[in-house]
Amino acid sequence: MKALVKTLIGDVANLSVVAVILFAAAALTWIGESAIAVYAIPLMTLAGVAWLARR
Amino acid sequence: MFQWTILIPSFLAAAVEWVEAFTIVLAVSLSIGWPAATGAAAAALAVLAAMTAATGGALSLGVSVVWLQGVVGISLLLFGVRWLAKAIARQAGLQSLHDEAQEFDRTRARLRTGDWYAGWVIAFKGVLLEGLEVWLIVVALGVQGGWSASVTGAIAALLIVLAAGLAIRKPLASVPENIIKFAVGVMIVSFGTFWTLEAVGGSAVWPGGDRSLPGLILFYAAGGALLAAVLRRSVSSNILRGRRP
């Protein structure tokens, strides 16, 4: 069970990347900038992937 | 008289959802095997059928599709970013350079076990979510007086997508492992991004709706390949300069 949870959620770095993406998505839609979010969120996700790959 | 005006939109709309569900199952099957992935899909379809038969569907229980999209989207992102990062790191030569052979084998065996469960859950949740969308389409069209046409359209779409999908299964099975990991990572992150933002910003957030998905897949595939190339170059130049990558 522990292994399954860790595989699905990952480590702190992984969680942090997804938390930042979620925060940005919520903030951009909250201020009414959904049109920017559809471009910004994929770019941020790719940046997060790059950071995780480099670690 | 058979209602073609119900059947055709039901077929087309359901086909889009079934293709999305099949893409997830196919991607997962390349990692955990076809029997396990189809087992997960069958389990999800069984859950859908039971929910529909017993309660009249998830919405009558008060379960919002938006919430499901959010939960599934976030879990796909949690899994996908890690998987894609790992595939890129391997492609760039970062991971294998850091690992000792024995430790690498042990870790890979451990990850394989973990990946199997995670892959199964992803296939299950993916089919469940897409299936719920098909159910909504069938109900939305069916309540207008064309239940049999609506259901027939959705089932016909499922059978045609399955037949077409099975035809491309074999060529994909011979693709090398890291390319498979990369492709699965790209697809999972794409679906995760799509559903998460749709759950947060509403169904109209993506320009073109579901048609944005191929664009996202292309973006992550091209971006990931570029990242791997840049990282590999940086690793090579660091080795030439005698630095640790």
SS (H, E, C) B157-169: HHHHHHHHHHHCH
User: Are A25 and B74 inside 8 Å of each other by CB?
Assistant: no
Residues B97 and B245 sit within 8 Å (Cβ to Cβ): yes
Q: Which residues of B touch A (CB under 8 A)?
A: 74-75, 77-79, 81-82, 84-86, 88-89, 92, 94, 110-111, 113-115, 117-118, 121, 189, 193, 196-197, 200-202, 205-207, 212, 216, 219-220, 223-224, 227, 231
Residues A30 and A14 sit within 8 Å (Cβ to Cβ): no
- The first and second tokens of residue A3, run together, are 């292994």
Nearest-Cα residue of chain A relative to residue B186? A46
Compute how many other C-beta atoms are within 10 angstroms of the C-beta atom of residue B205.
21
Considering chain B, what percentage of its residues have pLDDT values greater than 90? 8
How confident is residue B161, by pLDDT bands cut at 50, 70 and 90?
confident
pLDDT of residue B198: 87
Q: Give me the amino acid identity at B58.
A: A
pLDDT of residue A22: 94
Lowest mean pLDDT segment, chosen from A10-24, B60-74, B125-139 = B60-74
The domain ranges of chain B are: 4-240
- Does the ipTM exceed 0.95? no
pLDDT tens-digit map of B182-217: 887 887 788 789 888 988 888 778 888 878 888 998
pLDDT of residue B15: 78
Q: How far apart are CA B142 and CA B10, in angstroms?
A: 9
Compute how many other C-beta atoms are within 10 angstroms of the C-beta atom of residue A8.
17
The domain ranges of chain A are: 2-54
Cα B66 from chain centroid (whole Å): 17
Q: Write out the H or E segment, with its range, that includes residue B230.
A: helix B212-240
Q: Write out the H or E segment, with its range, that includes residue B181.
A: helix B177-201
Compute how many other C-beta atoms are within 10 angstroms of the C-beta atom of residue B11.
21
pLDDT tens-digit map of B5-15: 678 777 877 77
- The pTM for the full model equals 0.63
User: Are B81 and A8 inside 8 Å of each other by CB?
Assistant: no
> What is the number of alpha carbons within 13 Å of residue A10 lying toward its C-beta?
21
- Cα first-last separation, chain B: 70
Residues B17 and B135 sit within 8 Å (Cβ to Cβ): no
User: Are A3 and B77 inside 8 Å of each other by CB?
Assistant: no
Please identify which residue in the block is written with the tokens 């690992």.
B99
Residues of chain B contacting residue A3, judged by C-beta atoms under 8 Å apart: 110, 113-114, 117
